[in-house]
Amino acid sequence: MKHLSILVPRGQNNLSSVVGPFKIFNRANQYFEQAGKHPVFAIKLVGTGEKVDFYHGLFTVNVQRHIGEIDQTDLIIIPSLNHHYEEAIAGNEALISWIYRHYKSGTEIASICTGAFLLAASGALDGKSCSTHWAAAEHFRRMFPRVRLETDQLITDENGIYTNGGAYSFLNLMIYLVEKYYNRETAIFCAKVFQIDLARNLQSEFSIFNGHKQHDDEVIQEAQIYLEENYREKISIQELARKLNVGRRNFDRRFKKATNFTPLEYLQRIKVEAAKKFFENTRLNVNEVMYDVGYSDSKAFREVFCRITGLSPLEYRTRYNAYETT
């Protein structure tokens, strides 16, 4: 039987990402047993103390095994963290070292949402791709520049490391892992029991573009403000660079370094974010929204919108429009 370690870091408050994996993998084991098979995993809650409080002591998790007692484990699941990432890393140094040691010995690791901060702090993600909650992406990039962050991806799978996007999308990662370690039939069964949408593979449609302004390049901040205030107009990036007295190549390089986007990509995301709000809150049709955000080519608008959100403009409007759902 394989061993699954669900970590319970100190000082965290996201109980669902501890309980969720525990319930799903136990249910997968039960399904196997009912079919006359041996359960795949022995599942333990693992940490550095006997108990961890959640939500200011409202709930308490009893840790079943101390990390010092775990010589070998096949899969480690790191739950999501609260928003104090530096404190979480400082308060879980022994756990982070334990994660890295087991990864180097061949253990596979899955991080849930902002649990990627603990995983990245171990060094196991250096040079690799990962996902995390879109709202934490800018903070993550500043802290871990050697990690390739894939903000649009719901799940990443690379060299025995699995990560997922934000919040309850961890359920999709758990089903993904159930299929890997059990089989497709068990994954479908668990998806039906817990009512998890197997078709989801992107977190793009849920993200909110926040501008990426936590940097010190004042010229680029000025450019960002200009793009955000004038996105409906026909904007020449060449003219914008000239207006700011910066050469085009240098402007593109500085913009990419500061925001992680090229100026054109940034402008496209501003337009798409504005379009999403129109689709959510007005009765405007797709063409009306397209013109309102500065596009005149329906094919180009659709391609950009699909690439950024994972949905067509019509699909997004149908799914999220307040008037369509009431």
Would you call 36 exposed, middle or buried from its count of C-beta atoms within 10 A (0-12, 13-18, 19+)? exposed
Q: Is 74 or 214 the better-scoring residue by pLDDT?
A: 74
Torsion of CA 60, 65, 68, 69, to 10 degrees: 170
- The whole-model pTM stands at 0.70
Q: pLDDT at position 118, please? A: 96
What is the average pLDDT value for the chain, to the nearest integer? 90
| Per-residue pLDDT at 324 | 64
Are residues 6 and 46 in contact, defined by beta-carbon separation less than 8 angstroms? yes
pLDDT of residue 244: 95
**Who contacts 159 (Cβ-Cβ below 8 Å, separation ≥6)?**
128
* CA distance between the termini of the chain: 50
Q: What is the mean pLDDT of residues 9-30?
A: 93
pLDDT tens-digit readout, 229-258: 999 999 999 999 999 999 999 999 999 988
Domain ranges of the chain: 2-204, 218-320
Does residue 321 have a pLDDT over 90?
no
Q: What letter represents residue 177's amino acid?
A: L
Task: Give the pLDDT band (50/70/90) at residue 326.
Answer: very low
Q: What is the CATH number of domain 2-204?
A: 3.40.50.880
Distance CA 79, CA 13 (A): 10
For tokens 């949905």, name the residue: 311
| Pairing state between β 75-78 and 2-7 | parallel
Phi, psi of 140 (to 5 degrees): -60, -45
CATH assignment of 218-320? 1.10.10.60
Determine the Cα–Cα distance for residues 322 and 326; give it in Å rounded to an integer. 6
Measured CA to CA in angstroms, residue 80 lies from 83, 118, 176 at distances of 10, 9, 17
The whole-number pLDDT of residue 199 equals: 64
Label residue 58 exposed, middle or buried (CB < 10 Å: 0-12, 13-18, 19+): exposed
Closest CA to 194 of 222, 173, 164: 173
Mean pLDDT of 128-142: 91
